[in-house]
Each structure stands twice: as structure tokens, then as C-alpha cells.
Amino acid sequence: MNEDQLNQAYVLTLSCPDRPGIVHAVAGALLVAGSNIMDSQQYGSPATGNFFMRVEVTTAAPASELRAALEPVAAAFSMQWSLNTVGDKVRTLIMASTSAHCLNDLLFQQRSGTLPIEIPAIVSNHRDLAGLAEFYGVPFHYIPVTKDTKEQAEDKLRALLAEHDIELTVLARYMQILSDELCTDLTGKAINIHHSFLPSFKGAKPYHQAHARGVKLIGATAHFVTAALDEGPIIEQEVIRVDHARTPEQFVQMGRDVEGRTLVQAVQWHAEHRVLLDGNRTVVFN
């Protein structure tokens, strides 16, 4: 047995109706599989009555044995669960339109090794960002979208998702609305970013609108994509303070910075299997 096998780490995430004995049963199954628990977090939601858990373990046993030990427990407690190898990169497709800031932040963090994702494709409804994709060596797919071609465009997107075995789709300032059917198919597997003013300051130039109203806080919201536009379960938000001396252009630049940071953080937490859905809310473990 080599050193890698002795130190193989896995992360188990689960959710189920809350009841006594869940932690004991999970810990017992992990012990049967020869696992050593390195980190464990749990939460029981009083609002929904659901229980959530994230456990990191090391073991010399193969993943198949770990799954076999957990399956009876999962069945007994009606769990939704997943077991992933720590460090495995999540295959991620990024969609963008003409704004480069969020796409660039994701690509830079991925290349620097701080974001545990693999990016096999970038999709855009414009050609503006093709050069950025080329700089990072990621294949760029131009898929134009009009009212008459929306269905065909989504068919091409679905084909790319299947071809590249995509686990996560990130809308990095992609300025097109996905169909309800596609949003449903991507439930819990697609993340969007936008400014945090909503439902105020909708439409064009939201930062200019905010400046005209004299707001003192601006920020960004990263959330899962749902058919309800910009109303999906929130993963991360950040706000920064502004004052009367800032120009509309400074609002825009500061907003871009916070959008990029917020999206990167949300993607990182998702890729580390720290985000679990609880209805229209999320549980995000540290």
C-alpha cells in the first residue's frame, strides 16, 4: 500500500429529515470502513426540519468500500448524499457576454491553483472575450442568441455540457435569460452573479442609478440559478461602503471588483462541497 492510499481523503455531504441518531449512524459507518474523521460540521434547520452534514475523512479503503458502508445508513434516513475525493477538480463551464471582469477573475484564480475547478470550455453570445479565453488557453465557443434562435442555442449548450461532462455552470455576467427548462435541469449546478441592489435599480446602468439615489452601500450577490429570475438560493454576498465623493464610474469599477470576488468565493465553496440546498436557502459550511 502506498502513501497516497494511506492518506486518501474524502468529503461526505448529506441532507435528510432531522431525527435522532444520524450523527451516530454516519460515524459508525465511517468507522466500519476504517475512516478517520478529520473535520465534521452539521446543522439542523428549525425552519424546514432538515439536517445537513459535511464530513472530511481519511482512509486506506477504496471509495467503493466507503460507499458500501454508507448506503444502508443513507437508505435508513432517506438521505440525499454524495461522496467526493478531496482535491478533485470540478469540471466547470463558464458563460459570459462582453464584460471580462468576472471571467478573468475565475480564470486567474483557477490557473493560480487557488480555485479547485477545471475549465474545459467558455461559452459566449458575443465574440468580445475570445482573446481572453485564448490567453488562458481555454476553448471559446461563440453561440449567438436571438429570440428566434434561443432554442437552438440552448441545444448547442446542452451538447457542450454533455460532451465535457460538466458538473458546474457559472454565469459570469452572461446577459441572457436561460429557459425555465434549462434552469430546472441545472438546479444546484449553476451559479449566477449580479449586483446586490435588486429588486431596486433594475435594467441598464444600475450603478449609475444607485449613484443618483445617493446609496451608501454597494455590493454583489452570487446565487444558484432558478427559473425565478435572479431569485435563486443565495450562496454569498459582499457589500462595500461608498460616499458622496465617488463618481458613477467609480461605482462601476468598485462594483466590478466586488462582483468578481463574490463569484469566485461562491464557486470555491461549491467546488469544495460546502454548499447544500435547503429549499430556497443554502447551508454553507465553513
**Please, which residues bridge with residue 13 across strands?**
54, 82
Residues 60 and 187 reside in one and the same domain = no
Residues 217 and 280 reside in one and the same domain = yes
Task: Tell me what the mean pLDDT of segment 167-187 comes to.
Answer: 96
Residues 112 and 208 reside in one and the same domain = yes
Burial class (CB in 10 A: 0-12, 13-18, 19+), 127: exposed
Residues 65 and 188 reside in one and the same domain = no
Distance of CA 162 to the CA centre of its chain: 18
Residue 230 appears among annotated catalytic residues: yes
**pLDDT > 90: percent of the chain:** 92
Domain boundary among 85, 120, 153: 85
pLDDT at 153 over 50: yes
Grid cell locating 227? 427559473
- Supply the pLDDT for residue 197: 84
- How many domains would you assign to the chain? 2
- Supply the pLDDT for residue 88: 95
Q: What is the pLDDT of residues 121-137, one digit of tens each?
A: 999 999 999 999 999 99
Domain that holds residue 272: 90-284
What is the residue-averaged pLDDT of the chain? Answer: 95
CA distance 248 to 255: 10
- Supply the pLDDT for residue 99: 96
pLDDT at 140 over 60: yes
Which candidate in 18, 128, 230, 278 is catalytic? 230
- Supply the pLDDT for residue 6: 58
Cis, peptide link before residue 46, omega less than 30° from 0: no
- Supply the pLDDT for residue 2: 47
- Supply the pLDDT for residue 45: 96
Residues 197 and 142 reside in one and the same domain = yes
Residues 183 and 137 reside in one and the same domain = yes
Residues 118 and 236 reside in one and the same domain = yes
Domain boundary among 58, 85, 112: 85
CA distance 100 to 126: 12
Task: Tell me what the mean pLDDT of segment 176-193 comes to.
Answer: 96
pTM value?
0.93
- Supply the pLDDT for residue 199: 74
pLDDT at 148 over 90: yes
CA distance 164 to 204: 34
Domain boundary among 53, 68, 85: 85
- Supply the pLDDT for residue 202: 82
Distance of CA 145 to the CA centre of its chain: 24
